[in-house]
């Protein structure tokens, strides 16, 4: 029994300007096991964020079924924590206040809220910053808070939407290594959305590659690189470059087809 | 999408152990800046008074048309001595706080509701626009019939502040980044707790701006209401003075009306607005 089971998921948008249906996701099925780290990878427009938004309960699918444990998911809930690209920390709350938010909503005692919050602030290496406000922290530090806030709520599934896309390259690599450490320590089940091939390969047990227009499942790859992983070791690792090159090929091929189709469409429209 | 918390995204990254703080000014220079800012703030008023004194002196205009600066000062001293100044001033300020307080209690919840629910907002928006045109002294006749004179003046202030608050609160809620709400939902916040936990604090900078603007309308409305339907207050005193050709009292009241507003705004409302915006990590230009 898989931890998360996605069956024949589809999403159709209505493009009101053109008055036609746009298929964002078409018949997506995959599973994620308990404690597994899975990345959804694809070019922009492949609907990968749509998958996250549906699993998080922010938007409704047009078809298909999602089971977490053995229960179908409904609207957003504390069993599925989300780490946002925009961080989405509450600017009116301190770091402690942000991380304490989930336990507070769960109506746990004040001392319990504080204990849990401090534990996870320490886990992401931000001890000493409890009383700061988010705007006083750098982007990288803010996203550490974003991770701590979700983990403090002990969700069954952690959803990460391009979490490191808005920080600079050096900080990103450090955050990726630290995320791996946190994952190896706690083994939360993670579904991460990214367009960064190396990030996906570096972090994940499995990488699910999507095609774009419409988003379809292209390949579900197991990443057999040994753990613990560090950038210093992987940059010269031949297996790492083989895997990233293979995925690069899949994505180029996928987007190449889409471009060809679009060109064809354009030609079709031009001729009367 | 201009997500408010991502203000530092483009800035240089700092690892843990390092963070960015505003440069600290030595205290003495803060005080010096404060004194000099106050002097500069007062300068145009001093010049205006000087010109006023010279013109009255030069033209010899009679007191029954326009007072000399010293006449106004003497009228002020006399009204302070017999206590009538404090009575009028107290009445006006008390009413403004009363009306403003009532407006906060009613306008903020209503604005939050409108901001949270697009259907509620769509339904009430035409009514809101209509009422904004009416807000203020057009209500005085009805308000006097309903609440007597004292209540009517408070009602006028409530009316003025209410609409400004409702509108700004609604806008504040609508401008909360969707990710804030989603984050809260995914952390277990139900629809009811969303109001105190996310919608109210998220809209607070906008609410405070609405309060400040609304109190400005309210203060003007108060003076008008007191002139038309007053028994005490700065506006009433202004109205009474006209009957006795007391131009010194009239000008004194005009000065007080402006000065008290400046004091309330600069010592109460503006700092409140600035502190909220700063603490939220936003600057005015970003919003």
Structural domains in chain A?
1-79+157-166+183-226+242-272 (3.40.50.300), 86-154 (no CATH)
Q: What pLDDT score does A60 carry?
A: 95
Q: Which of A125, A134, A167 sits opposite B16 (nearest CB)?
A: A125
State CA A111 to chain mean position distance.
Answer: 31
Find the closest chain A residue to B205 by CA distance: A92
- Picking from B3, B22, B188 by the largest number of A CB atoms within 10 A of its own CB, the best residue to mutate is B188
- For residue B196, the model assigns a pLDDT of 96
- How much is the pLDDT for A200? 96
- A123-129 long-range contacts (CB < 8 A, ≥24 apart) are A123/A148, A123/A151, A123/A182, A123/A185, A123/A186, A124/A148, A124/A178, A124/A182, A125/A178, A125/B16, A126/A95, A126/B16, A128/B16, A128/B17, A129/A95, A129/B16, A129/B19
**Residue to test with chain A: of B3, B4, B5, B282, most A Cβ within 10 A:** B5
For residues B247 and A92, give the distance between their C-alpha atoms in angstroms, rounded to a whole number: 51
**Mean per-residue pLDDT, A101-117:** 97
Instruction: Give the per-residue pLDDT at A246.
Output: 94
- The mean per-residue pLDDT over the stretch A234-253 comes to 91
Count how many domains chain B has.
1
- Strands A190-194 and A71-72, bridge-based pairing: unpaired
- Tell me the backbone φ, ψ of residue B50, rounded to 5 degrees: -65, -45
> With an 8 Å Cβ cutoff, are B198 and A90 in contact?
yes
Chain A, 99 to 128: residues with Cβ < 8 Å from chain B are: 101-102, 105-106, 125-126, 128
Q: Are B5 and A88 a contacting pair at CB < 8 A?
A: yes
Longest CA–CA span in chain A (Å) reads 72
- Model pLDDT for residues A32-91, shown as the tens digit of each residue: 999 999 999 988 778 899 999 999 999 999 999 999 998 999 899 999 999 999 999 999
Q: Residue A140's closest chain B neighbor by CA?
A: B13
The distance of A46 to chain B (nearest Cα, Å) reads 20
Cβ distance B177 to A80 less than 8 Å, yes or no, reads no
Q: Quick one: CA dihedral B165, B185, A209, A170, positive or negative?
A: positive
Residue A5's region, left for phi above 0, alpha for psi from -120 to 50, else beta, is beta
Query: B134 — phi, psi (to 5°)?
Result: -85, -20
Q: Evaluate if residue B281 carries a pLDDT over 60.
A: yes
Query: Which positions 132-171 of A are in contact with B (Cβ < 8 Å)?
Result: 132-142, 144, 149-150, 153, 155, 166-168, 170-171
Lowest-pLDDT range of A178-192, A258-272, B191-205: A258-272
B35 belongs to a structural domain: no
The closest of A37, A41, A42, A31 to A3, measured between CA atoms, is A31
pLDDT at A157: 97
DSSP string, B81-93: HTSHHHHHHHHHH
Is the distance from CB of B205 to CB of B172 less than 8 angstroms? yes
Question: Rounded to a whole number, what is the distance in Å from the CA of B112 to chain A's nearest CA?
Answer: 17
Could you tell me the residue range of the domain that residue B85 belongs to? 68-279
Q: What is the pLDDT of residues B79-89, one digit of tens each?
A: 999 999 999 99
- Contacts A–B by Cβ distance under 8 A: 136
Return the number of other C-beta atoms located less than 10 Å from residue B85's C-beta. Answer: 21
Asked, for residue B27, whether it belongs to a domain, the answer is no
Which residue is associated with the tokens 């240089």? B12
Q: Is residue B258 part of a domain?
A: yes
Per-residue pLDDT tens for A135-189?
A: 999 999 999 999 999 999 999 999 999 999 999 999 999 999 999 999 999 999 9
Average pLDDT taken over every residue of chain A: 90
| Domain membership flag for residue B265 | yes
Lowest mean pLDDT among A19-28, A42-51, A247-256, B87-96: A247-256
Environment class of B120 (CB within 10 Å of its CB; exposed 0-12, middle 13-18, buried 19+): middle
B11 within a domain of the structure (yes/no): no
Residue B53 lies in a domain: no
The reply to whether residue B19 touches residue A101, judged by beta carbons under 8 angstroms, is no
Does any domain span residue B199?
yes
User: Other C-beta atoms within 10 Å of A241: how many?
Assistant: 15
Cross-chain residue pair B180–A90, CB shorter than 8 Å:
yes
ipTM, 2 dp: 0.90
B135 pLDDT tier (thresholds 50, 70, 90): low
Is residue B44 domain-resident?
Answer: no
- At B27 the pLDDT is 59
What is the number of residues in chain A?
A: 272
- Tens digits of residue pLDDT in A227-241: 889 999 888 899 999
Of A105, A133, A135, the CB nearest to B187: A105
Which residue would you say has higher pLDDT here, B14 or B162? Answer: B162
8 Å CB contact between A38 and B168: no
Residues of chain B with pLDDT > 90: what percent? Answer: 61
The reply to whether residue B7 touches residue A135, judged by beta carbons under 8 angstroms, is yes
The kind and range of the H/E element at A210 are: strand A206-211
Q: What is the mean pLDDT of residues B105-128?
A: 94
Closest by alpha carbon to A127, among A107, A106, A154, A145?
Answer: A145
Predicted confidence band of residue A266 (pLDDT cuts 50, 70, 90) = very low
> Does residue A263 register a pLDDT over 90?
no
Give me the residue from A92, A128, A170 closest to B204, CB to CB.
Answer: A92
By DSSP bridging, strand A20-32 and strand A80-83 are unpaired
B4 and A171 in contact by Cβ < 8 A? no
Mean pLDDT of chain B: 85
Query: The CATH number of the domain where B242 resides is what?
Result: 1.10.3720.10
- Between CA A239 and CA A232 the distance in angstroms is 14
Using CB atoms, pick whichever of B11, B177, B189 lies closest to residue A138. B11
State how far residue B226 is from chain A, nearest Cα, in angstroms: 40
What is the C-alpha separation between A79 and A81, in angstroms, rounded?
A: 6
Cβ of B13 within 8 Å of Cβ of A139? The answer is: yes
> What mean pLDDT is predicted for residues B241-253?
92
Min distance A145 CA to chain B CA atoms (Å): 11
């Amino acid at each position: 029994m898989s931890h998360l089971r996605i069956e024949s998921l589809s999403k159709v948008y209505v493009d009101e300007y053109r008055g036609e249906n746009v298929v964002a996701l078409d018949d997506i099925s995959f599973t994620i096991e308990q404690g597994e780290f899975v990345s959804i990878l694809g070019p922009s427009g492949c609907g990968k964020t749509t998958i996250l938004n549906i699993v998080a309960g922010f938007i409704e699918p047009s078809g298909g079924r999602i089971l977490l444990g053995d229960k179908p998911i409904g609207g957003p809930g504390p069993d599925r924590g989300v780490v946002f690209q925009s961080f989405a920390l509450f600017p009116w709350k301190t770091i402690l206040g942000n991380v304490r938010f989930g336990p507070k909503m769960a109506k746990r005692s004040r001392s319990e809220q504080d204990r849990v919050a401090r534990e996870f602030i320490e886990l992401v290496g931000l001890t000493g910053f409890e009383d700061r406000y988010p705007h006083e922290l750098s982007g990288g530090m803010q996203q550490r808070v974003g991770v701590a806030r979700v983990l403090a709520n002990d969700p069954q599934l952690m959803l990460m939407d391009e979490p490191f896309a808005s920080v600079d390259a050096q900080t990103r690599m450090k955050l990726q290594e630290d995320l791996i450490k946190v994952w190896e320590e706690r083994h939360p089940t993670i579904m991460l959305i990214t367009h960064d091939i190396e990030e996906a390969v570096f972090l994940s047990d499995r990488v699910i590659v999507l095609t774009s227009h419409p988003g379809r499942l292209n390949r579900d790859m197991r990443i057999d690189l040994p753990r613990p992983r560090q950038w210093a070791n992987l940059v010269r690792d031949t297996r790492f470059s083989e895997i990233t090159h293979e995925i690069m090929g899949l994505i180029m091929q996928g987007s190449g087809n889409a471009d060809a189709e679009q060109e064809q469409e354009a030609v079709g429209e031009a001729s009367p | 999408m201009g997500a408010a918390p991502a203000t530092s995204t483009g800035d240089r990254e700092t690892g843990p152990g390092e963070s960015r703080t505003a440069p600290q000014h030595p205290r003495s220079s803060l005080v010096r800046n404060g004194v000099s800012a106050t002097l500069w703030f007062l300068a145009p008023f001093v010049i205006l008074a000087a010109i006023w004194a010279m013109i009255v002196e030069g033209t010899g205009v009679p007191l029954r048309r326009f007072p000399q600066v010293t006449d106004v000062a003497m009228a002020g001293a006399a009204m302070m001595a017999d206590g009538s100044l404090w009575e009028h001033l107290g009445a006006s300020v008390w009413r403004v706080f009363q009306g403003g307080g009532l407006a906060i209690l009613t306008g903020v919840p209503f604005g939050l509701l409108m901001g949270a629910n697009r259907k509620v907002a769509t339904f009430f928006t035409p009514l809101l626009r209509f009422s904004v045109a009416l807000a203020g002294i057009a209500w005085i006749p009805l308000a006097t019939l309903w609440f007597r004179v004292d209540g009517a003046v408070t009602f006028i202030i409530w009316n003025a502040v209410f609409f400004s608050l409702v509108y700004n609160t609604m806008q504040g809620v609508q401008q909360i980044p969707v990710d804030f709400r989603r984050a809260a939902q995914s952390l277990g916040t139900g629809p009811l707790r969303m109001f105190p936990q996310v919608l109210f604090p998220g809209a607070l900078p906008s609410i405070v701006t609405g309060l400040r603007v609304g109190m400005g309308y309210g203060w003007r409305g108060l003076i008008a209401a007191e002139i038309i339907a007053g028994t005490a207050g700065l506006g009433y005193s202004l109205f009474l003075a006209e009957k006795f050709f007391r131009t010194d009292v009239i000008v004194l009241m005009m000065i007080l009306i402006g000065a008290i507003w400046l004091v309330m705004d600069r010592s109460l409302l503006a700092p409140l607005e600035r502190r909220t915006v700063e603490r939220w990590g936003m600057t005015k230009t970003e919003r």
